[in-house]
Copies of this chain bind each other. A is one copy, B any other.
Amino acid sequence: MSKNTTPWIQIVQLDEPSLKNNTADAERLLQALKSNLNIPAIHIDLDLLKTLPSILRDAQFDLRCVLFKDQHQWVLIDISAASDSQISASLAVDLGTTRVVLRLLDLATGRSLAESAFNNPQESIGPDVLSRIHFVEKEGGLQHLNEIIVSGLNGAIVDLCASQKLKTEDINALAVAGNTTMTHLLMGLNPRWMIREPYIPVINTPGVIKADALGLQVNPRARVLVFPNIGSYFGGDLIAGVLFSKIFQGKQTRILVDVGTNAEVVLGNENWLIACAGAAGPALEGGVTRMGTTAGPGVIDQIAVDPDTLAFKIHTINDLPPTGICGSGIIDLAAQLFLSGMIDVRAKLLPAVCGSKIKKIDGLSHLVVVPAESSASGADLTINQADLDSLIRSKAAMYTILETITGSVGLTPQQLDAFYVAGTFGSFINPDSAISIGMLPDLPRDRYHSLGNSSLGGATLALQSSSAHEQIDRIRERITYLELNVNQDFMNRFSAAKFLPHTDTKRFPSVKAMQPSK
């Protein structure tokens, strides 16, 4: 038998009933489990209770028990003979607005068995949470949004289980991390008040819900931990990220940044956590330029400039002919343009340096990054001054948010002990480039860490240990949410950050070193 690393599977050999020991079946079993686990109470659903006497006796009181926890207590989810070798599974879900990622785990060991992902079918209604919330106003709109995400999940569950030769009922526990809107739509809760001042969700801490109440095609007694949110704009995906990053533990003060249209930031240590979110602009998602796109095959994710020839050396995902440029590529590009002197400290294209790379299109100056003959489409891939100006605003907003949140606790961004970047963006970004343009603070590079899908990572952790439940509660309770007031102070910081790397170049000593000596 594989060694368990979670407490969710318990093998118990009960004393058989006798006149000296004639307690009821349920109490006999629960007492043994409580004693094994050193816990005060375990809940058992009525439908499982109905099958208990025959399971106990058929298994000769030698049992394999599947447990999970809800917000109040442990729950006995299933029982079989100890000899039963069937894998019990759990499922971590990153319930993204755009993409939903599932990770199937062995419940006993916490080991990952398989992953899959699918595009959120709610995209057919609208690409973002706002458009979906508006759709709720239509007759049956909420129910439709709920049904398509539940059936999307069920389809993915069926396929994922089939790939591992498991039955869907072998899934006994789930953890779902999503933003507040996605979480509401999964539960069938109306999010309409979240987009109207004062922006009120139906619930912040949904806790643990029975799978059958959510319509999920798993063991109907399975429990689903739905990550809590702080409010309409700080969701369970971020709580999961904090759990995964572990910034809530230890004395070091660390920061977690999830970059998207919104930059979501959590700063803290074992004593306190402070969070904020702000519009960093779409530039960082690759949405700013006409050639911008999200990461995918053929997309430029890295760019270097030959310091002598100023020629672009591009790298594309899967080494395919370039189709566009993603966020990390844009940041690389801006950094290289700045370091090579093709743009100035205000990110203005310098025709004298760029030379023949500049081309007039419709009367506007464009910098050709990939000439038509090398691109996938056969058209030039270019960037123009407006694109660069937009990128500068985004990077300045990002830095200002970091400066504001660290400043709120009397620190500077340069004093952070570690810097975690979450998400796909985080896994592609080159810290040197982001620092070169002054988007991220000039920390020693070994303080930067990419977390990958921290939302899925946090959901996975919630299924791997019984202490994660309390950690989630503690994280949520401990986070202070900082409203970003766009006041004069903020605007002053923002203006200072609109230079490359910053008005105050002393903050970015390493950038000087990266610039080729002229």
List A residues at the B interface (Cβ < 8 Å): 17-19, 21-27, 41, 43, 46-47, 49-50, 52-54, 71-73, 187-190, 192-193, 197-206, 209, 213-214, 231-232
Contact = CB atoms under 8 A, between A and B. Distances in A.
A53 B17 contact: no
B46 A204 contact: no
A189 B204 CA distance: 37
Contacts of A72: 41, 43, 72-73
A53 B193 contact: yes
Nearest to A27: B204
A26 B203 contact: yes
B204 A24 contact: yes
B53 A192 contact: yes
B27 A205 contact: yes
Contacts of A26: 202-205
B25 A193 contact: yes
5 contacts: A22-B198, A25-B201, A43-B72, A46-B214, A53-B190
B189 A22 contact: no
Given A24-B231, A25-B203, A50-B187, 4 more contacts: A24-B201, A27-B204, A53-B192, A53-B200
Contacts of A192: 53
A95 to B, nearest CB: 16
Contacts of A190: 50, 53-54
Contacts of A231: 22-24
Nearest to A28: B200
Nearest to A210: B46
Given A24-B204, A204-B26, A204-B27, A49 B187 contact: yes
A155 to B, nearest CB: 22
B41 A202 contact: no
B202 A49 contact: yes
A214 B45 CA distance: 12
A52 B192 CA distance: 12
Given A19-B197, A53-B192, A73-B72, A202 B46 contact: no
Contacts of A47: 213
A145 to B, nearest CB: 13
B24 A202 contact: yes
Contacts of A25: 193, 200-203
Contact of A202 (B18, B53, B193, B201): B53
Given A72-B73, A200-B17, A189 B23 contact: no
Nearest to A232: B22
Task: Specify which of A19, A27, A205 lies most central, judged by the most chain B CB atoms within 10 Å of its CB.
Answer: A27
A201 to B, nearest CB: 4
A203 to B, nearest CB: 4
Task: Specify which of A72, A189, A231 lies most central, judged by the most chain B CB atoms within 10 Å of its CB.
Answer: A189
A26 B228 CA distance: 12
Contacts of A27: 203-205
Contacts of A200: 17, 22-25, 53
